[in-house]
Amino acid sequence: MDMATVPAHVPQDRVVDIDVYALPDQERGFHKAWKALQDHSPDLVWTPRNEGHWIALRGDMLAEVQSDHARFSNQVIVVPKSVGEQHKLIPTTIDPPEHRPYRKLLNEGMALAKVRRMHDAIRAVAIDLIEEVRAEGKCDFTAQFAQVLPIRIFMSLVGLPMEESGKIRFWAECMTRPNPPLPFDQARQAFFDYLEPVLAERRANPGEDLLSQIVCADMGGRQLNAAEAVSLATQVLIAGVDTVVNFLGFAMLFLAENPQKRSELAAMDTSAVMAATHELFRRYGLVTIARTVQHDMEFHGVQLKAGELISIPTQIHGLDERINSDPLNVDFTRRGPRHSAFGSGPHMCPGQELARAEVAITIEEWLKRVPDFRVAPDADTRCSGGLVGQINRLVLEWDA
C-alpha cells in the first residue's frame, strides 16, 4: 500500500492513519467501525494511506462534495489515484453537463414505471428461491439467495444468460475490492473484451433489453460509438451484480439478530415494507468512492489543493447523529431518514428503484415463509471492505 508524505498544507491534527478499505475492527462490524472513526475524528481528515487523500466524515459535507461538481469533479472517483485514473467509465467519471445524455439514457432504462412492471418477476424468483430451502431449515443465504436473486433479475434486464454471471461478478469484484486476484486494468479489459461482440450483435439485432437500449439510444441525433457503449455497459454491469448482493447480507443479518424488528416488518403490508426498507438503506450504506478537488480552495476550515482526492464513504451519512438521531438504531417509524446509500446530486444511482424493490420483496416473501430464523454456527459474519462493504458468508437456520 503506497504511503504518502503529509503535505505541508495539511494540519497535523487532521492526519489519521486510516485505510478506507480496512478500518480498525472492521471485521467485527463494518458500520460500527466507520461510526467509531466518525465519532473520534475531525469532520474532515487526511490519511497517508492509498497514496494520500482526504476523508469527509459528516453527512452534510459528504452530500456537498457529491453535489458540487464545480468544486469536486468525478474525473477520478477511486482511491488510490493511480487506480482511479484507470477507471474512466461513463457516466460515473464525467461531470455535468456532459454526463446528462448518458444519465438520461440510464434513467429511462431503469425508470420507476419499468421497475414496477418487474415486481411480479422479482417476487416469483424470490418465492422460488425461498421454497427451495424452506424445508431444509438452513441455507447459505449469501450463495443460495443474495448472489442469485438480484443477479438473475439484472441478467434478465440486460439480456445476458445467467451462466455468464459468475465471471461478470468476478470481474466486478476485482474492480471493487482491494488486492484483487486480477488487477484493476485487466478486469476492466476483460469486461471490454466480453462486451464488445455482445454490443455489436445488439446494435445489429436490438431487443427490449437494457444493452440494446444503450447501443440504439438517440443521443441527440447520433448513437453511442463503440467505445462509449462498452464503457457505459461495463459500468452498468459492475453496479448491477455487486451492491444489492452485499446489502442483502447486512439487512438479513440484522433481521436474524433482531426478532422484534422481524415482527414489525411481518405485520406490514407491501407498501409499508417498501417504505421501511428506506431505513435499512440508511443504516447499512455500503459504497466508498471519491471526488477530485477541482481547484485550490478553503473547505470547512482546511486548505484543499487542485488534484487531491476526497473520499466520501456514503455509509457515514446515515450514521451521522447530527442528521439522524440515534443513528445505530433501526427505527421503522423514523420520519424522513437521510442518507446517501444511493449517492446524491447529479450522479445519484439510476438503479435505486430496482434495488429497493428487490430488497423489499425479499424481506416480505422471506418473512411470510420463514418468520423466525437465526444466524447458523457455521456462518462467517466477518466484514470485508473495498469500494463496496460486505459480509463474508451469511448462513441462516430455522426450525423447519
Per-residue pLDDT, 322 = 97
Per-residue pLDDT, 337 = 92
Per-residue pLDDT, 102 = 87
Neighbours of 317 (CB within 10 A): 28
pLDDT tens for the chain, 400 residues: list them: 578 899 999 999 999 999 999 999 999 999 999 999 999 999 999 999 999 999 999 999 999 999 999 999 999 999 999 999 998 899 899 998 898 888 888 888 888 888 999 999 999 999 999 999 999 999 999 999 999 999 999 999 999 999 999 999 899 989 988 888 999 999 999 999 999 999 999 999 999 999 999 999 988 889 999 999 999 999 999 888 788 999 999 999 999 999 999 999 999 999 999 999 999 999 999 999 999 999 999 999 999 999 999 999 999 999 999 999 999 999 999 998 999 988 887 778 888 999 999 999 999 999 999 999 999 999 999 999 999 999 999 999 999 8
Q: At what angle do helices 112-134 and 149-158 cross, to 10 degrees?
A: 140
Amino acid identity, residue 16?
Answer: V
Interatomic CA distance for residues 207 and 186, integer angstroms: 30
Per-residue pLDDT, 393 = 97
Per-residue pLDDT, 1 = 53
CA distances to 69, 70, 72, 272, 317 from 64, in Å = 9, 11, 9, 30, 11
**3-class DSSP assignment, residue 380:** strand
Per-residue pLDDT, 211 = 95
**3-class DSSP assignment, residue 378:** coil
Question: What grid cell was written down for 268?
Answer: 406490514
Per-residue pLDDT, 112 = 84
Parallel, antiparallel, or unpaired: how do β-strands 44-47 and 395-397 relate? unpaired
Straight-line distance from the first to the last Cα atom of the chain, in angstroms, rounded to the nearest whole number = 47
Beta bridge partners, 355, equal none
Q: Where are the beta strands (DSSP E) in the chain?
A: 44-47, 53-56, 72-73, 138-140, 288-293, 297-299, 302-304, 309-313, 374-375, 380-384, 390-393, 395-397
